[in-house]
């Protein structure tokens, strides 16, 4: 019996029933080891059986067709189902996220698939369903996997890494630059299965397309060349689909303040003035400063401004908001200090190691800190390095959110002494949130208090 006849032999209900024993074994193992996967295995096996039998009947009719319109309708159906498969793995489902998945598949599989058929194959490939449908199905399945991985991970990352996005935008990054590292890692993760497959293809496994050709009697070298084309198309299709999904998510699902182009606002201060912002915990001090620098809902600022005795005005000044909690990307302290210089806002400037070392000395730190892992710094060390990262960029106004809350009295003195000199240079302004009445009295030029009725002078 030939190889092709082995694959073409009648595979009936008896064989299906015998194969079902494998699922029963998997269910038994799960139950014995208490993995709680029995329901998942059962549903997956039922869906697989029903879907493939149904597809078998449908393909009997479709694959005999020779109509470009019919093929397009089949591809449209595949796209709709694939988009549903993408969203089924997400915790938060909506018509909008379904639209993102659908447009990502439509914008990647359709143009690349049709273009490759037109360029690499005879025009008849567009109407021959027996070739068109399986070919597009391969691209669709792999694009679906990449997009699904990216969106599932983005759902988690969006909540976990919002501080990173806030930190980078506060340092002058554009909205895309602020989220770039996150998107880069998501894209890399979504393409990892494809890249791994390309690495071992032919050595560990034979891809389905190539295996099918070999079964059909195609010359192995011809089948290998065809598979190279398919693998390249799979990679590019998955990458473009994932990029479209991330871009659409950026504008429709990331916080609105990230993409809005609202002007920054500042308090009416004289040059060199140090404004101390105080008030009970939870009164909205941090959110107020964030909203003034475009890091939170602008209505927070407007509501407080409407019932405030303190004047605020839009400004073109370079304002940096420094979070109370420092955030760093994996790497050394020096690598984190160098990170902002890749932003468009600082493209004409370069990292100045001498300036950084002087700043370290001003805060009682030695040069060895530059070699430390930034993610292992203590809370106090992190606050100092976070402040240095901003000061090296020479902002005109600093909004500091409890910058000494994790520091001892000596380091607090270092920061206050430095900022006393810093604010007097040029037309600089300083706003500091603090709960310390002692710091308010010894350090501030003017104090305002946030109450339910608004901001008032104290």
Query: Do 444 and 296 lie in a common domain?
Result: yes
More confident residue, 130 or 340: 340
* Reported confidence tier of residue 420, pLDDT bands at 50, 70, 90: very high
Question: Which range among 198-202, 270-274, 320-324 has the greatest average pLDDT?
Answer: 320-324
Q: Is 429 helix (H, G, I), strand (E, B) or coil?
A: strand
Whether this prediction's pTM lies above 0.85 is answered by no
Q: How far apart are the first and last CA of the chain?
A: 96
Query: Do 243 and 273 lie in a common domain?
Result: no
Residue with the two structure tokens 């996005």: 165
* Reported confidence tier of residue 56, pLDDT bands at 50, 70, 90: confident
Query: Do 243 and 280 lie in a common domain?
Result: no
Q: Determine which of 179-193, 372-386, 409-423, 440-454 has the lowest per-residue pLDDT on average.
A: 440-454
Question: Contact at 8 Å (CB) between 80 and 98?
Answer: no
Q: Out of 257, 291, 318, pick the residue that ends a domain.
A: 257
Residues of the chain with pLDDT > 70: what percent?
93
Query: Do 100 and 244 lie in a common domain?
Result: yes
User: What's the pLDDT score for residue 205?
Assistant: 64
Mark out the alpha helices in 34-94 (DSSP H runs): 38-62, 68-88
Closest by alpha carbon to 20, among 40, 1, 48, 57? Answer: 48
Residue numbers of the domain that contains 105: 66-257
Query: Do 101 and 19 lie in a common domain?
Result: no
DSSP summary character for residue 392:
T
Query: Do 223 and 176 lie in a common domain?
Result: yes
pLDDT at 389 over 90: yes
Query: Do 205 and 282 lie in a common domain?
Result: no
Using CA atoms, how far apart are residues 382 and 397, in angstroms rounded to an integer?
21
Q: Determine which of 78-82, 92-96, 121-125, 409-413 has the lowest per-residue pLDDT on average.
A: 121-125
Using CA atoms, how far apart are residues 247 and 179, in angstroms rounded to an integer?
11
Query: Do 405 and 319 lie in a common domain?
Result: yes
Query: Do 329 and 248 lie in a common domain?
Result: no
Query: Do 279 and 311 lie in a common domain?
Result: yes
Element (H, E) at 309: none
Query: Do 162 and 120 lie in a common domain?
Result: yes
More confident residue, 359 or 455: 359
Question: Contact at 8 Å (CB) between 63 and 56?
Answer: no
Query: Do 96 and 225 lie in a common domain?
Result: yes
User: What's the pLDDT score for residue 371?
Assistant: 95
User: What's the pLDDT score for residue 11?
Assistant: 67
Kindly state the average pLDDT of the residues 64-79. 90
Residue 398: both structure tokens together = 């600093």
Q: SS3 string of 274-342?
A: EEEEECCCCCCHHHHHHHHCCCCCHHHHHHHHHCCCCCEEEECCCEEEECCCCCCCCCEHHHHHHHHHH
Q: What is the pLDDT of residues 136-194, one digit of tens each?
A: 999 999 999 999 999 999 888 887 888 999 999 999 999 999 999 999 999 999 999 88
Question: Contact at 8 Å (CB) between 139 and 106?
Answer: no
Angle value at C-alpha 375, between 374 and 381, nearest 5 degrees: 60
Q: Out of 35, 62, 89, pick the residue that ends a domain.
A: 62
Residue 372, domain CATH: 3.40.50.300
More confident residue, 11 or 381: 381
Half-sphere exposure of residue 151, counting CA atoms within 13 Å on the CB side? 36
Q: Out of 234, 257, 280, pick the residue that ends a domain.
A: 257
Number of structural domains (the chain) is 3
């Amino acid at each position: 019996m030939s190889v092709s006849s082995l694959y073409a032999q009648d595979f009936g209900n008896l064989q299906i029933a015998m194969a079902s024993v494998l699922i029963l074994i998997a269910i038994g193992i799960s139950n014995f080891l208490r993995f709680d996967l029995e329901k998942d295995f059962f549903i997956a096996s039922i869906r697989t059986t029903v879907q493939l039998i149904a597809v078998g009947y449908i393909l009997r009719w479709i694959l005999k067709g020779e109509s470009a319109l019919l093929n397009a309708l089949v591809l449209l159906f595949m796209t709709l189902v694939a988009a549903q498969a993408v969203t089924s793995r997400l915790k938060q489902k909506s018509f909008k996220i379904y639209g993102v998945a659908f447009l990502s598949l439509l914008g990647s599989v359709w143009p690349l698939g049709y273009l490759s058929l037109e360029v690499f194959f005879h025009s008849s490939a567009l109407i021959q369903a027996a070739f068109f449908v399986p070919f597009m199905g391969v691209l669709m399945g792999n694009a679906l996997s990449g997009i699904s991985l990216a969106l599932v991970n983005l759902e988690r990352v969006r909540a976990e890494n919002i501080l990173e996005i806030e930190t980078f935008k506060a340092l002058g990054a554009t909205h895309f630059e602020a989220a770039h590292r996150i998107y880069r890692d998501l894209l890399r993760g979504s393409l990892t299965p494809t890249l791994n497959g390309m690495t071992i293809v032919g050595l560990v496994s034979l891809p389905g397309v190539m295996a099918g050709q070999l079964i059909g009697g195609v010359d192995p070298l011809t089948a290998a060349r065809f598979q190279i084309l398919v693998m390249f198309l799979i990679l590019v299709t998955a990458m473009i689909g994932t990029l479209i999904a991330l871009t659409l998510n950026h504008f429709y699902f990331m916080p609105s303040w990230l993409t809005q182009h609202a002007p920054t606002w500042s308090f009416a201060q004289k040059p060199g003035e140090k404004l101390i912002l105080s008030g009970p915990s939870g009164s909205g001090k941090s959110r107020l400063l964030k909203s003034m620098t475009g890091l939170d809902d602008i209505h927070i600022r407007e509501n407080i401004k409407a019932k405030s005795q303190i004047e605020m005005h839009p400004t073109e000044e370079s304002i940096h908001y420094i979070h109370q909690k420092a955030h760093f990307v994996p790497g050394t302290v020096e690598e984190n200090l160098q990170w902002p210089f890749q932003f468009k806002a600082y493209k004409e400037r370069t990292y100045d190691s001498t300036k950084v070392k002087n700043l370290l000395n001003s805060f009682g730190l030695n040069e060895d800190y530059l070699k430390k892992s930034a993610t292992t710094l203590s809370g106090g060390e992190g606050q100092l390095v976070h402040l240095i990262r901003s000061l090296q960029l020479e902002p005109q106004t600093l909004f500091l959110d409890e910058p000494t809350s994790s520091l001892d009295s000596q380091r607090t003195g270092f920061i206050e002494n430095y900022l006393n000199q810093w604010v007097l240079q040029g037309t600089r302004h300083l706003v500091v949130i603090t709960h310390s009445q002692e710091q308010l009295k010894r350090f501030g030029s003017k104090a305002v208090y946030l109450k339910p009725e608004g901001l008032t002078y104290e």
